[in-house]
Structure 1
């Protein structure tokens, strides 16, 4: 079932250490060793470092957002915003929710969902296809542009920056010929 919000929220990731950028473990250890060469150069050039994690342990509500307890291995655990996991390790997050029997609804408002991104717009630009935090892209749903703009204007503005401006129908422009002054 796709989320159909009464209201939608945008939550930006909270700043924390560099481990927020997570990836799934590579099954091939040789690949990791080869990729490890030159990592110092990449870090000095401003690229973010990625950290593999062992598993997702449990979850909790913090306001209207979800946090997931991440086991980094060797006894290291942190609470990470679900938005970060959705962005960086979606398959792991979705598998976690399946094991939990589904993603729980917001305890204070069951109709409240968090917007992850706008993925598409209708031809008349009145509806937006919204991806929801913690849900598969298969569960994206169409929402009125006005509703999304009211609750997550930053997400809508960011989306429109990626879209080419629409062409207005009408006659093609004809430029007047320049007269040569002789």
Structure 2
């Protein structure tokens, strides 16, 4: 009888230890999942809202933007998020969304009749519906971009805050390349 109780007690202890090991394994898996999600969404991918309507109609103010943080080698026509100190920002970085139109080594000019010229050739932009005018008193033209610089323009060319206002953008100021837009308005 004494031996049966001991065997019964041993089985209960083994069952309890097995339950504790399962619980520990579950907690470790949850912690690993949270660590992976943190790394993914705070180091590799970002999610933010469009700060303004400068990229309208493609991106409207308030739309959610999913962006890739690790890509610093931007190409022409990439839509990027950038953190830039501007004359209006009182020394703090503001978030901007804009399209890359030229990169390192390119020469950008804006003609008196509102044409965008990159390396002497007019840019043909199928989805831009207005002329590109200079902002007087800000950027001097033509501008040749140095190593690690790009020139960005808002799709809404009239009144958009872009390189015509704050000059070329360095790679260090690029927060990431927009992957997708999640429309929150005008559905």
TM range (shorter): under 0.3
Q: If the length of structure 1 is used for normalisation, what is the TM-score?
A: 0.21
Q: If the length of structure 2 is used for normalisation, what is the TM-score?
A: 0.21
Q: Which has the larger Rg?
A: 2
